[in-house]
Amino acid sequence: MRAWAVTEPGPVEAGALRWVEKPVPVPGDDELLVHVRACGCAAPISMSPRAICRCIAPG
């Protein structure tokens, strides 16, 4: 699956947030696996537009 991952703590501008491939998790007996088709995040106005754009998963 494709996912956003924080590779190391730090600002978005430093490249800490990366688009990566990960194995699909296997849910436990009392868990549910949900397929997410879109996501986004809210950011304070003080963040740069570049940081906001990098937070939204590409189509």
CA-nearest of 33, 9, 4 to 19 is 4
Query: H helices then E strands: how many in the chain?
Result: 1, 2
Whole-number pLDDT of residue 41: 63
Whole-number pLDDT of residue 42: 63
pLDDT tens-place values along the chain, 59 residues long: 888 888 788 777 787 788 889 999 999 999 999 888 877 666 555 555 555 444 544 54
CA-nearest of 39, 30, 32 to 2 is 39
